[in-house]
Amino acid sequence: MHHHPSRRTLLTAAAAGSAVVAGAAPAVAASGRSALSSTDRRKVRAIIQRMSLEEKVGQLFVMRVYGASATDPDPADVAANQSEIGVADGAELLAKYHVGGIIYFAWAHNTQNPHQIADLSNGLQRAALSQGAPVPLLISTDQEQGAVARIGAPATLFGGGMALGADGSPADARAAARVIGTELAAMGVNQNYSPVSDVNINPANPVIGVRSFGGDPAAVAALAAAQVKGYQSAGIASTAKHFPGHGDTGTDSHFSLPVITHTLEQWQTTDAPPFRAAIAAGIDSIMTAHLLVPALDDSGDPATLSYPILTGVLREQLGYDGLVVTDALDMAGVREKYGDDRVPVLALKAGVDQLLNPPLLEVAYRGVMDAVASGELTEERLAVSLERILALKLRLGLFRNPFVTHAGVDRAVGTRAHLATADRITDRGITLLTNRKRALPLPRRSHRGLLVVGADPAAPSGTGGPPTAVLARALTDLGHRASALSTGTAPSPALIDQAVAAAAGKDAVVVCTYNVTSASAEQIALVTALAATDVPVVQVAIRNPYDIAYLPPVAASLAAYGWTDVSMRAVARVVTGKAEPTGRLPVAVPRADDPATALYPIGYGLRY
């Protein structure tokens, strides 16, 4: 790691609050959202005064807990809780550690169905309110849509960030967030870790990709701001992530520590605009990234633990005074340099308010308690974060009433109107990249018999099965006769032969490809073999849109940016002409042989 004294000087200037960032919004304007009335500030301070030190420290943590119920989880979930957290269930977790937030995951069995989620939320809130200082919980989840959705059907699902980027409409992005937010609120989830505000300019990005709205900073900024307004108009907190920007990395911070090599100027023009826009839109919370950005802090500390980045840049330059939450503290990216007892302390010293999902809560909690005992952290410092946390809970109306009802779930979750909105918006993102000899749309008279083959990545719970099966069913519902053959992401030669045999006598084959790169020899072989038959082949990229660069020419190519049911149904409507392909590429697709050159530029997309 090269040390640049000039950078260090720059950061000292930044930390002193000088507007190094061009066009930085004045602090007052940007932080209006978190400004409390004097009455509310008094309320918050009174609550803090009533809290014991144990309760104050607990309030800073957001924790996972296994089980579908707060008091009566399955025996396997009790065992998981006991081995990882030292408690039996959510209620015990709250009694022992007084945590201020809970995060829901499907793998922790928190999100089985909407009524169960509502009951779990109510049970957890009841436990939180039975503490010495009764404080309601922030209950959060990652309901980004598309590739990351913790709650499946019957909740309404959308195509995800890049699908909205291809649609390109801030009004649609806002409407989608409002639907998602309304449904989460009805289930007692009051904070969504969304929108992903990273600008995805690296096709090799293994962790963001289709979770991002795209590669154009201005477009991503407009869509991020629209989603912030949509979520927050539904009465839940929105979270822009992953600050200071995770879009240009070839490594996944879940497994190692990525380095962003952008210069300060590149960071300002590429990564900062969506976060600035989210702040201007009144964002409630911002999530940190576990990555190194030497241009902003050359100490070798990840952004999550960086005072120059979180206080110098985010708070002082960008004028953000809302809640800052870490990305999950069980990710390898934040654990490489310091022990699990030190990470939460360093995060707080950097300017963080909420500590998300430490691997061992006891170790992290003790670490903070010890830092207060030694004077490394003062109670005044804790109070600053506590005020932000409690102010948000107050603003969300949780002190008034944190409970939800089954009737409320039935009124809001997966309604006909919400599902229709999701279908309409998802249709608009499907992007047509090639259409040789006007192969599409497939006319029903001449193209009755269809075969759907290809990759079947796992979809969120509550979906209609493998994507190829969902697509075949949707095509059949639209008047074709479609059958499905799942060939996976690495089909064997025997499976490829089977697909070619199944294509014989069909009027067209639709092949779903998934993250094809030069290393995806088996998927390339499948498309090549199908293209060599005399049956027209329609290729659909169901995750990243870069697949076309590595594949032989076929009759038509589409980018769908997702593989959940809603995206597959949209593909069926576009392929059959029931919907027009109006999507435009939100990222450039580089040539396989010359990645510096775009095969298809941002904004490219054909119509019928």
Question: Is 54 within the bounds of a domain?
Answer: no
Question: Is 83 within the bounds of a domain?
Answer: no
Mean pLDDT lowest for which of 20-24, 31-35, 102-106, 135-139? 20-24
Question: Are 113 and 245 members of one domain?
Answer: yes
Taking the C-alpha atoms of residue 221 and residue 374, their distance in angstroms, rounded to an integer, is 43
> Which residue's entry shows tokens 């300002």?
268
Question: Are 239 and 184 members of one domain?
Answer: yes
Q: What is the CATH number of the domain that holds 176?
A: 3.20.20.300
Question: Are 408 and 434 members of one domain?
Answer: no
Instruction: Please compute the mean of the pLDDT values over residues 320-330 and round it to a whole number.
Output: 96
Question: Is 464 within the bounds of a domain?
Answer: yes
**pLDDT given for residue 35 in this prediction:** 65
**Average pLDDT value over all residues in the chain:** 92
Question: Is 124 within the bounds of a domain?
Answer: no
Question: Are 261 and 389 members of one domain?
Answer: yes
Read off the pLDDT of residues 560-575 as tens digits, 9 standing for 90 and up: 999 999 999 999 999 9
Question: Are 261 and 172 members of one domain?
Answer: yes
| CA dist 446 → 62, 69, 397, 510, 576 (Å) | 57, 54, 58, 16, 12
Question: Are 405 and 435 members of one domain?
Answer: no
Question: Are 450 and 303 members of one domain?
Answer: no
| CA dist 62 → 23, 87, 96, 100, 195 (Å) | 34, 15, 14, 6, 19
Q: Identify the band that residue 464 occupies on the pLDDT scale cut at 50, 70 and 90.
A: confident
Instruction: Please compute the mean of the pLDDT values over residues 399-409 and round it to a whole number.
Output: 97
Question: Is 188 within the bounds of a domain?
Answer: yes
Residues with catalytic roles: 254, 327
Query: Which domain-ending residue is among 346, 377, 412?
Result: 412
Reply yes or no on whether the pLDDT at 323 is more than 60: yes
Question: Are 475 and 361 members of one domain?
Answer: no
Reply yes or no on whether the pLDDT at 15 is more than 60: no
Query: Which domain-ending residue is among 368, 386, 412?
Result: 412
Q: Cα torsion at 391, 393, 398, 402 (round to 10°)?
A: -160
Question: Is 576 within the bounds of a domain?
Answer: yes
Question: Is 236 within the bounds of a domain?
Answer: yes
Mean pLDDT lowest for which of 36-50, 280-294, 454-468, 541-555? 454-468
Question: Is 532 within the bounds of a domain?
Answer: yes
**pLDDT given for residue 474 in this prediction:** 98
Mean pLDDT lowest for which of 27-31, 126-130, 263-267? 27-31
Question: Are 296 and 361 members of one domain?
Answer: yes
Query: Which domain-ending residue is among 412, 446, 467?
Result: 412
Structure tokens at 24: 């930085």
DSSP conformational letter for 317: I
**pLDDT given for residue 204 in this prediction:** 86
What is the number of structural domains in the chain? 2
Read off the pLDDT of residues 286-298 as tens digits, 9 standing for 90 and up: 999 999 999 999 9
Question: Are 313 and 436 members of one domain?
Answer: no
Question: Are 408 and 449 members of one domain?
Answer: no
Question: Are 487 and 439 members of one domain?
Answer: yes
Q: What is the CATH number of the domain that holds 530?
A: 3.40.50.1700
Domain boundaries, position 277:
5-49+105-118+135-412
For β-strands 191-192 and 148-149, DSSP reports them as: unpaired
